[in-house]
Amino acid sequence: MKKIILTCLAAAMTLAGSAQETATIDGITYLLDGGKASVMQQKGLTGDIVIPETVRYGGDDYTVTTVQNNAFSGNDITGVVLPNTVTVMGSSCFSSCSKLVSADLPDNITSLGGNSFSFCYSLKSVDLPEALVSLGDMCFERCYMLETIELPAGVTSLGSACFSGCDKLKAISLPKGITELGYQCFYACKSLTSVTLPASLTTMGESCFHGCSSLGSVKFEGSLTELKKRCFYHCTSLESIDIPQGVRELGEECFSGCTSLTSVSLPDGITDLRSSCFSGCTALQAITLPNSIDNIESRCFESCSALESIVVPSGVTRLYEECFSYCSKLASVTLPESIEKLYDDCFSNCISLSGIALPAGLKNIGAGCFRNCSGLTSILLPRSVETLGSGSFSDCTYLADVTCQWDDPDEVSTSNFVFGDIYTECRLHVPTGTTALYKVKEPWSGFKFIIEEDGQVVDPVRCATPTIAYADNSLTFGCATEGAEYHYTISASDAVEGAYSADGNVALGAAYDITVYASAHGYLNSEEAKAVLCFIDATLNTSGINLDERRGVVVSSHGGSITVSGLADGEQVALYSVGGMMLSAGKASAGSITLSAGRTDGVVLVKIADRSIKISVNRQ
């Protein structure tokens, strides 16, 4: 019996000893175990590598089933073919193969581990198997030469930094069943031009498309509830974005630095705009904030230098630090009655802001809140205000009237530097019988002119919208508000620099786009008026424009009507829709005519002789 036991033990020890063995076959090192072979970590390999389905060693055949972690990492191979018997590919298996150009992967692989092909700088193409379900973190990170890749229909997740730094990746089609894009998934894919996010997608990691500078089109099909931090940060070619209805939150710096972004559509149910969400979107002229929004965080619209107006939703109770700072064209701000606090530098350096109605429930105005709002001409401080921060109105060089509603200036806590150095010309308006109290209390005592009034709240009045006309070779503006001054911009469609003409003839459209708004002391800036100035029959050569051979007409729109000036009395003018239907017609009298656009919105055509002029109908 002892002999039998000892014999069995010896046999078991022999089997255990031979269970795993390392062998180098045709230059490739394998781990052999129980009829299966694993490709181990290699050194010094070059050129194209083909791994067979089976290898023979010691008279036995072994099926190649696994490529281990780091198997080919750092080798100078240029191509690789793996057999369909391989079902497992370890992490970093081809990482840093800087000369690898192509890879043919097995049909049965379901996942690619982390760093599988990271830093394969020369990789141009790889055929991914249809069985593939997931791609691990940094799977193709910095594959600089990779231009396209087709993801199999079964892929449900892409790991963090999966395609990060793939400079030449131009297109990617995400499968209809994908649910997750990891952190920095397409970070700095500078050639990627468009992407469609399927309805199945529920998670998109932070900085997912961060720095995709050529990304011009993003289409959402689905059920995302949040766009996370820096999701589209510095996507400088992105011009418009239509965010789906399910999204409730835009993360920090989500669209920050998208310098071409002009149009944003926010869903009705969205509640949160996190800090710096749209900061540095220098082309954004307008955005409608749904009433569902109740949180707008710091620097949300900082340096949106083209933004002209904003209406803050009724559920917002506070605007945080630098929320609209450096919005240099912001001329109109509507605050809801719910606002209780404006934080530091909230509207600082909004140099086009001429007036703002502060709600009756406002309690706190932070330090530097309206600092360097050099266009601000008047401000009414509601009695509800409890705190005025340091420098909250400093460098407001054109501030002419400050109205206070406190019966006693001790009702408000202030810094001595609230108004900076504006005291010489600015007038302080206070309730009747309170002058003596204000004269002995800083900063109010610094005002040279203190005027007692009844203290009733007076809503700021907006300057009347100016008119634009052309007669006797002169462009003129008019305004119903007395003492109005005009601020205008004129741009020409013919403007050109460094152009070339072979025959010396230049055909001029001779059309000028005119934008003007009016300002007057004690009034908010007017709404903008826009018009087109055209010179009829002005196709001239480079010798210059002969004033005797041209006449100018101005076409403008206001209140749903179109006005044309610069006409000859009795001259026929007709108004058409873009579809060619006549809307109205008539003859000029006293050099002008006004025609109704009816119910038509958008662009209409004004027909004068053989000239057609396009203009948008303004209903204001």
* Position 88 confidence tier, pLDDT thresholds 50, 70, 90: very high
Q: What is the pLDDT of residues 249-260, one digit of tens each?
A: 999 999 999 999
* Position 141 confidence tier, pLDDT thresholds 50, 70, 90: very high
Domain-located, residue 594: yes
Domain-located, residue 501: no
Angle at 111 between CA 106 and CA 112, to 5 degrees: 85
Q: What is the pLDDT of residues 511-556, one digit of tens each?
A: 788 889 998 755 678 888 888 888 765 333 333 333 345 678 888 8
Which percentage of the chain shows pLDDT scores above 70? 90
Does 164 score more than 90 pLDDT?
A: yes
* Position 93 confidence tier, pLDDT thresholds 50, 70, 90: very high
Can you give the residue range of the structural domain that contains 560? 461-494+506-616
> What's this model's pTM, rounded to 2 decimal places?
0.70
Cβ burial, residue 97 (10 Å; 0-12/13-18/19+): buried
Q: Pick the last residue of a domain from 81, 105, 132.
A: 132
Which percentage of the chain shows pLDDT scores above 90? 68
CA 12 to chain centroid, in Å, comes to: 69
Type of residue found at 130: E
Q: What is the pLDDT of residues 168-225, one digit of tens each?
A: 999 999 999 999 999 999 999 999 999 999 999 999 999 999 999 999 999 999 779 9
Q: Pick the last residue of a domain from 115, 132, 149.
A: 132
Domain-located, residue 424: no
Average pLDDT, stretch 41-62? Answer: 97
Per-residue model confidence (pLDDT) at position 542: 31
Per-residue model confidence (pLDDT) at position 140: 98
Domain-located, residue 42: yes
Domain-located, residue 178: no
* Position 494 confidence tier, pLDDT thresholds 50, 70, 90: low
Domain-located, residue 392: no
Per-residue model confidence (pLDDT) at position 543: 35
Type of residue found at 461: V
Per-residue model confidence (pLDDT) at position 455: 46
Helix (H) or strand (E) segment spanning residue 4: helix 2-18
Q: Pick the last residue of a domain from 132, 153, 175.
A: 132
Dmax (CA) of the chain: 131
Angle at 311 between CA 308 and CA 316, to 5 degrees: 135
Domain-located, residue 303: no
> Which range, of 324-333, 382-391, 439-448, averages the lowest pLDDT?
439-448
Residues 366/341, Cβ–Cβ less than 8 Å = yes
- Looking at residue 106, which CATH number applies to its domain? 3.80.10.10
Residues 583/596, Cβ–Cβ less than 8 Å = yes
Residue of 279, 396, 390, 404 whose CA lies nearest to 344: 390
Q: What is the pLDDT of residues 63-85, one digit of tens each?
A: 999 999 999 999 999 999 999 99
Does 17 score more than 50 pLDDT?
A: no
Answer with the residue of higher pLDDT: 458 or 580: 580
The total number of structural domains that make up the chain = 2
Per-residue model confidence (pLDDT) at position 521: 54
Type of residue found at 527: E
CA dihedral 260, 465, 312, 404 (to 10 degrees): 130
Domain-located, residue 512: yes
